[in-house]
């Protein structure tokens, strides 16, 4: 063996532990689509007709207040050609898949009520969700938000989760798209406790071990900076034992916890940006999705009030997308038009340049950019997100970039199968 070969073997041995730790902690893309939003519906208001109702209400709002591509261009300040390219796509989205991710809420959106009342609402909601899963009308991603694991609400949160899972399993409604949201997480130990709880509930209800997943809701400063000065959110991901799928920013609880006055609580406040920057860094390479929060300025009232709220929401959605946060919360059916118009405009506006750069990277040629593999992966991921949400057609990508959807996923470093 040469000296170089001996050195390589020695370093392989010395770094084996670090190599294994890196692979375990940063496995990369999970190989699944990230929804563009999560819709929150209070538990007692959810039924098997909720998705259809949101579809109808969102479509009606768009037709009433921006009933054409030209109208949308005017309301949202879009280029006329871009508005023309996305308007019909958005109306189709509102009709066919208005909600990509649904969360049935038994926390703040539901409140504190007598146990008997919440028990009944939980069983009814689980039955309604199961019915939509069986008939194929459920959103591709769906689940429940329980109350937090803080001492005052821990028992109620577990009781709700147990009842919901039991009902869902009995009625044949537990599928791959199911996810649980754990709110107001203040310690790594709460994440460990959630892992324990899910393991026990899987055993109790005959669910495949390790299959239940959950999101961590970042609503407290303790999740961002612990008393020891460390970024606890990174440790929380690790403590999730592979069950954590997302980090969701809670706009109003987090802002209030830092003393931000109500009038200035917003997704674009500096304290919000700091929290989300930490979340993004902690989640990078782990396969955990990051989601922005919501705006509570709803598009309701007269025409000017609706359009003003739409412009605000559209700007906030676009801002998140530019910052690399591809998901947010929607709280009202009339927020769906602004969500999809802003999202589709973002992906279509960058489609031709991204595709040209990919074409040059894959097939050779001049795109005026010298792209490295990491940038090519980012370009492919951008285009793939556009395809998955409906902003872009797969055949467009084949024509412009010269790659099909499977090749696009491979370029984006997304595992297949």
* Residue 206, token pair as written in the block: 């005959």
CA neighbor of 320 nearest in space, from 298, 343, 297, 341: 343
- Residue 1 pLDDT more than 70? no
User: Quick one: average pLDDT of 20-25?
Assistant: 94
pLDDT value, residue 214: 98
- Residue 366 pLDDT more than 90? no
The reported pTM is 0.95
pLDDT value, residue 125: 98
Region label for 402, one of left (φ > 0), alpha (ψ between -120 and 50) or beta (otherwise): left
Q: What share of the chain in percent tops pLDDT 90?
A: 96
- Helical H runs in 171-231? 188-205, 221-224
| Cβ neighbours for 222, distance < 8 A, ≥ 6 positions apart | 186, 187, 232
- Residue 114 pLDDT more than 70? yes
Q: For 325, how many CA atoms within 13 A lie in the half-sphere containing its CB?
A: 31
- Residue 179 pLDDT more than 80? yes
CA–CA separation, 282 and 159 (whole Å):
31
| Predicted confidence band of residue 417 (pLDDT cuts 50, 70, 90) | low
| Predicted confidence band of residue 297 (pLDDT cuts 50, 70, 90) | very high
Q: pLDDT by residue (tens digit) across 201-224?
A: 999 999 999 999 999 999 999 999
Q: What share of the chain in percent tops pLDDT 70?
A: 99
Q: pLDDT by residue (tens digit) across 123-164?
A: 999 999 999 999 999 999 999 999 999 999 999 999 999 999
CA neighbor of 141 nearest in space, from 95, 188, 104, 111: 104
CA neighbor of 389 nearest in space, from 298, 310, 295, 317: 317
CA angle at 139 for the pair 133 and 144, rounded to the nearest 5°: 80
* Residue 204, token pair as written in the block: 């109790």
pLDDT value, residue 371: 81
| Predicted confidence band of residue 368 (pLDDT cuts 50, 70, 90) | confident
Total length of the chain: 417
Strand-strand pairing, 244-249 and 214-218: parallel
Q: Provide the sign of the torsion angle of the four alpha carbons 202, 205, 211, 212, taken in this order.
A: negative
CA–CA separation, 366 and 187 (whole Å):
51
Give 101's strand partners. 141
Q: pLDDT by residue (tens digit) across 265-283?
A: 999 999 999 999 999 999 9
Helix (H, G, I), strand (E, B) or coil at 235: helix
Angle, to 10 degrees, between the axis of helix 232-239 and the axis of helix 270-283? 40
pLDDT value, residue 82: 97
- Spatial contact of 218 and 233, defined as CB atoms under 8 Å apart: yes
Tokens 């909600």, located at residue: 99
- Residue 13 pLDDT more than 60? yes
């Amino acid at each position: 063996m040469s000296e170089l070969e001996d050195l390589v073997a020695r370093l392989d041995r010395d770094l084996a532990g670090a190599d294994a730790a890196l692979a375990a902690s940063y496995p990369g893309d999970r190989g699944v689509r990230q929804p563009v939003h999560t819709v929150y519906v209070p538990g007692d208001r959810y039924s098997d007709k909720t998705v259809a109702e949101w579809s109808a209400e969102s479509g009606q709002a768009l037709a009433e207040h921006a009933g054409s591509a030209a109208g949308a261009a005017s309301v949202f300040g879009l280029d006329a050609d871009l508005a023309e390219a996305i308007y019909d796509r958005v109306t189709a989205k509102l009709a066919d898949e208005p909600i990509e991710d649904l969360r049935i809420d038994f926390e703040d959106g539901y409140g504190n009520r007598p146990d008997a009342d919440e028990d009944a609402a939980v069983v009814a909601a689980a039955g309604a969700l199961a019915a939509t899963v069986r008939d194929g009308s459920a959103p591709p991603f769906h689940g429940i938000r329980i109350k937090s694991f803080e001492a005052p609400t821990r028992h109620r949160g577990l009781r709700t989760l147990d009842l919901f899972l039991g009902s869902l399993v009995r009625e044949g409604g537990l599928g791959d798209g199911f996810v649980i949201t754990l709110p107001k997480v203040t310690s790594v130990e709460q994440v460990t406790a959630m892992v324990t709880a899910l393991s026990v509930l899987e055993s109790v209800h005959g669910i495949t071990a390790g299959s239940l997943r959950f999101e961590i809701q970042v609503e407290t400063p303790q999740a961002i900076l612990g008393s020891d000065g460390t970024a606890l959110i990174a440790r929380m991901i690790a403590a999730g034992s592979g069950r954590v799928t997302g980090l969701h920013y809670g706009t109003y609880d987090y802002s209030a916890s830092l003393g931000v006055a109500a009038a200035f609580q917003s997704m674009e406040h500096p304290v919000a940006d700091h929290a989300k920057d930490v979340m993004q860094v902690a989640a990078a390479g782990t396969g955990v999705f990051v989601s922005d929060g919501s705006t509570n300025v709803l598009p309701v009232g007269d025409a000017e009030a609706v359009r003003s709220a739409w412009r605000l929401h559209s700007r906030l959605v676009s801002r998140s997308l530019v910052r690399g946060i591809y998901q947010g919360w929607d709280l009202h059916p009339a927020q769906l038009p602004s969500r999809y118009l802003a999202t589709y405009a973002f992906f279509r506006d960058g489609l031709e340049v991204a595709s040209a750069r990919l074409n040059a990277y894959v097939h050779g040629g001049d795109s005026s950019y010298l792209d490295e593999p990491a940038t090519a992966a980012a370009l492919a991921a951008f285009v793939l997100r556009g395809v998955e949400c409906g902003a872009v057609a797969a055949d467009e990508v084949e024509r412009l970039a010269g790659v099909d959807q499977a090749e696009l996923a491979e370029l984006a470093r997304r595992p297949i199968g």
